[in-house]
Amino acid sequence: MNQYREITENGLWKQNSGLVQLLGLCPTLAMTVSLVNGFSLGLMTALVMAASNASVSPIRRLVPTEIRIPVYILIVAALVTLIDLLMHAYFHSLHAVLGIFIPLIVTNCIVLARVEAFAAKNPVVPSALDGFMMGFGLALVLAVLGGVREIIGKGTLLSGIDLALGASAKAWVITVLPDYHGFLLAILPPGAFIGLALLIASKNWLESRKQAAQPMTPSPAAAH
């Protein structure tokens, strides 16, 4: 049980791929113009990661070391294509918005990194959990970054939710700042860099405050 807790903590906070490992920055920067965009791409990534970790783990002793990378890539690419096709068929409008960034999940280094670093050495269930939690941690970062950029840039929240959940969800869109002119910088690429930098800074600040609060007790995770 303890192991699962640690995997979850690592994925969501301690080793968060968006804020700590800084892997997978391409979608982080490009797709976070709104909360819905950011979170849906993050969720796709989490699904791909869970599935690829779960499929690599059982075959980890079957694959000779020399060709493990090509085989892993093959598995990840097949899974991504599969998700791409399914989304194209059943979530067409969301697929149109995320566009090229769905197939690009293949090249997201966080996917291969977790396959190689975790799934290739661990049993199926922890591997799947690790993949999902790492991806979900990224999804949360994308959601927060997307949400902040959306509020500052357009003054709304959850715009585009109808693309994911159908036209009836359009009523969920929140206008946070009515009569807002919009601060375009937040939506444009520089806003992504500045936003991510501020998020990383806030995480580091939270950590350092936590450390300052309990200066002498060495945490059990420190040995790790």
Using CB under 8 A as the criterion, which residues of the chain lie in contact with other proteins when the complex forms? 62-64, 66-67, 70-71, 74-75, 77-78, 81-82, 85-86, 88-90, 92-93, 96, 181-185, 187-188, 190, 194
- Residue number, 12 or 73, with CB nearest to other proteins: 73
CB 3, min distance to other proteins, A:
29
Spatial distance between the Cα atoms of 36 and 32, rounded to a whole number of angstroms: 8
Task: Give CA–CA dist 142/82, Å, rounded.
Answer: 23
Q: Which is nearer to other proteins, 12 or 71 (CB)?
A: 71
Task: Tell the smallest beta-carbon distance from residue 40 to other proteins (Å).
Answer: 17
Q: State the CB neighbour count (10 A cutoff) for residue 152.
A: 19
Report the candidate in 141, 143, 138, 135 with the shortest Cα–Cα distance to residue 46: 135
The pair phi, psi for residue 43, each rounded to 5°, is -65, -40
Complex with other proteins: residue 90 or 224, whichever CB lies closer: 90
User: Looking up tokens 């499929």, which residue turns up?
Assistant: 55
Q: How far is the CB of 76 from other proteins (least distance, A)?
A: 10
3-class SS of residue 197: helix
Q: What whole-number distance in Å separates Cα of residue 162 and Cα of residue 152?
A: 21
Tell me the closest approach of the beta carbon of residue 187 to other proteins, in angstroms.
Answer: 8
